[in-house]
Chains A and B, each alone.
Chain A
Amino acid sequence: MKRRDFILKGIGAGVAAGAAFSMTGYNRVFGQATSNPPSEGYDLVAVRGGQPGPMFDRAIQSLGGMSKFVKDGQKVVVKPNIGWDTVPERAANTNPELIGRIVKHCLDAGAKEVYVFDNTCDEWTKCYKNSGIEQAAKDAGAKIAPGNTENYYVQVDIPGAKSLTQAKVHELILDSDVFINVPVLKNHGSAKMSIAMKNLMGVVWDRRYWHRNDLHQCIADYCLFHKKPQLNVVDAYRVMMRNGPRGVSVEDVVRMDSLLVSQDIVAVDAAATKLWGDEPENIPYIRIAEEMDLGTMDLASLNIDRIKM
């Protein structure tokens, strides 16, 4: 019963995601033709100068509201980065206020239920608690789900992958109708940058496999999996500039007061990399992902809504 559900939903989501992607392609072509925002909407929204919640309000409004992504009665999963047992000021995890606001938008759009989870690096109950995300998500009406043991993960194939041909993916990713990826922008010792694509490493069980088998290729490979995030929201309110992904102290963190939103996971990673002060070409997995046609890092070709608050 469960498996059948999963397959049916999987096919549905695959079609939806495929449709979303062809839309992005269309927009890109359209965007080159005109400097004004097309009626179909923007490819990417960048907001600067506000608080996490209000910045998201503006961004999602620019994309036509959350109801474009979340329909009545749907099950939504919001996946922040909750990897570390650190406080929000350390910026190792996604901003809790942002998570709360996204959850609220989903429920206002008619979501039946919203789940929040991550496969953490530090002990998970401490991460959920000290990141402030558990409280913020619950206050906004979301349900907190664990990702701490292997039996929450289901083995899937990733057709077309070079290194990561199989992975164990969290059941909520497979079961939900809408998947919203909410990474925090930060420096990363091994992947160089941790943004949207890297954040998906937290929906799978065996991360050691990625580390053993060409990390950059695996990060790009996972983006081939059919359950793609419908929305990528990059938290760049506080940004860890060194010692990532965990960070050592608040000295590693700067305020950027920024937020990026896009359906194109490669584009949003490219834009965030530039925000951080690097070039997307320097990040191997972004380059690989573009070569694999998972999105574009050519930001000039996109319709970007730049909002100052």
Chain B
Amino acid sequence: MRFYRALKWIRVVVALVFFLALGILFVDVTGIFRPWMYDMFTYLQFTPSILKFINLTTLAAAGFAFVLLLTLLFGRIYCSSICPLGTFQDVLIRLEKKFKIRKRFTYIRTYNWLRFILLGAGILVLVLGSAVVFSWLDPFGNFGKMTTAFARPVLIGLNNIGALILKQFDSYALYHISYKTFNLWPFVFALIVLITLILMTWHRGRLFCNTLCPVGTLLGLVSRFSVFRIKIKESECNSCWRCAFDCKAGCIQAEEKRVDMTRCVGCMNCMTACPKSGIGYKFAWKKNKSQELPETTGTDTGKRKFILNTLLFTLGMRGLLNAQEKIVPTKKTTIPEEKSQTVFPPGGKNIEHFNRFCTACHLCVSACPTQVLQPSFLQYGINGMFQPYLDYHKSFCNYECTKCLDVCPNGALLALPLEEKKLNQLGQVNFIKDNCIVETEGTDCGACSEHCPTKAVYMVPYNGLYLPEINQDICVGCGACEYACPTEPYKAIYVDGNALHHKAKKPEGEKMESPLEEDEFPF
């Protein structure tokens, strides 16, 4: 009993460390965290790690293997310690207990057909080229979406109130931060996730983890074979059912003294609940087959059904996959910008790669210092739903910055050295002369050229004024010109995304010489 209490205590501490650390990383508004801090806490996150590994095949991305090993040893303890969404649900359950909404849990029947369809669909759609199913269901991604959508604006609001108060005392220790990343549909989706989690935890504890979560399903498959499994000692059990009443996963069938390891999230509640220490980890690799769960054996027809269902589901999805949405401007003006490709973040290589590996956790959205990264809705079509894109009407990509590439846990954005990122062409500049101030108002402007880091936009004489001219070869598609352009609502200069990130030409120029003689005063 004391041993199990200690074990559970350790589990809770680890869970809180991951939950709080990731929570803080997702709401960081000051940019003080270094890339290695992100790496440290995202390393063990299952889906990001496995996607990154597919991309990089290095130990630096092999966190998922560690998780698999852990699962093979002790079952799904990942779900109650490392997964931030698991801990978030535990927090909800605790709150629900506190407010006496619920008293105890009961055994829940399995929804294996649903679990396997969702996992299979996720994998198949991934193979077909989109991470969209994971983007909807993945626990890390959803934790990120919710934190970015709710916690971050709240924190920014508090910071701004603090800044306002400090200003009364002539202090600029806190500074005002504008919040640019609100996007309606991604927000609505995060809200749906939150409500779903509240309802599910309220009625059935960790139901999400055992029905919708693809990571839970996959680890469940592994934990069926773990070395140590949770078992009820028949000799000790007096059928008080306290273990089952405390089981958040609803996986203990007390009547039959069975524990469904595929659904057990390793929270260790049962072990501390049992007054007789009659339930706990047992070495299970030497047991005979009859002790295995009858429910999980002989499921050939189930498997076949599952594969068929998955295929059908996937085929249904396929039609939606290529629905590449154009950005449709909403306001009226003279000439709209024609963007054929939404601009996706640097390091995304090409649109297929990016759509395939991004689970829309929005860590880059939170980390982006200029807030140019925005959660999308249908800008990429269904297959890239909620993935981040660069909105040049709200901000632009800082030339000397690699933050998003540094923090991406998935390998959807592959790290580039700064010098390479500065040549990574996200898109190409386009100029609409008839929208330009110089043409329409007859005054000088040049804001676009001013902000251009490579002088892909430069000014040439035009009717006694200066008009922008563009050189797409050296343009990196950072969007500084589009952001700076003062015309409304359409810009006179804009970046159309590249489906494949090219390498831009390096801007060239001879070394300038001073027009002055040494010690000359020309006045």
A residues sitting closer than 8 Å to B (CB atoms) are 46, 48-49, 85-86, 113, 121-123, 125-126, 130, 143-146, 148-152, 188-191, 207-209, 211-216, 239, 241-246, 248-249, 251-256, 258, 270-271, 274-277, 299, 304, 306, 308
Contact = CB atoms under 8 A, between A and B. Distances in A.
Interface string B428-465: 00000000010001011111011111110011000000
A246 B175 contact: no
Contacts of A46: 521, 523
B514 A215 contact: no
| Closest 7 A/B residue pairs (Cβ) | A190-B446, A277-B515, A208-B486, A146-B175, A254-B514, A241-B512, A189-B449
B450 A188 contact: yes
A248 B507 contact: yes
A122 B172 CA distance: 20
A307 to B, nearest CB: 9
A129 to B, nearest CB: 10
A308 B519 contact: yes
A150 B444 CA distance: 25
A146 B176 contact: yes
A125 B398 CA distance: 12
Contacts, number: 138
Given A211-B437, A253-B512, A254-B514, A274 B523 contact: yes
Interface residues of B, number: 48
Contacts of B451: 121, 246
A304 B523 contact: yes
B295 interface: no
B479 to A, nearest CB: 13
A143 B172 contact: yes
Nearest to A188: B450
B522 A49 contact: no
Per DSSP, are chain A's interface residues mostly helix, strand or loop, or mixed? mixed
Per DSSP, are chain B's interface residues mostly helix, strand or loop, or mixed? loop
A216 B444 contact: yes
Given A125-B31, A143-B172, A249-B507, A255 B437 contact: no
A258 B520 CA distance: 10
A208 B447 contact: yes
Contact of A211 (B445, B466, B511): B445
B178 interface: yes
A174 B399 CA distance: 33
Interface in B326-353: none
Given A125-B369, A146-B172, A212 B437 contact: yes
Nearest to B509: A251
Given A46-B521, A49-B518, A245-B450, A251 B400 contact: no
23 contacts: A85-B399, A122-B400, A123-B398, A123-B401, A130-B400, A148-B175, A148-B176, A150-B178, A152-B176, A189-B449, A189-B459, A208-B484, A212-B443, A213-B443, A215-B445, A215-B446, A243-B455, A245-B450, A252-B509, A274-B523, A275-B516, A275-B523, A304-B523
B255 interface: no
B256 interface: no
B459 A248 contact: no
Nearest to A48: B519
B450 A252 contact: no
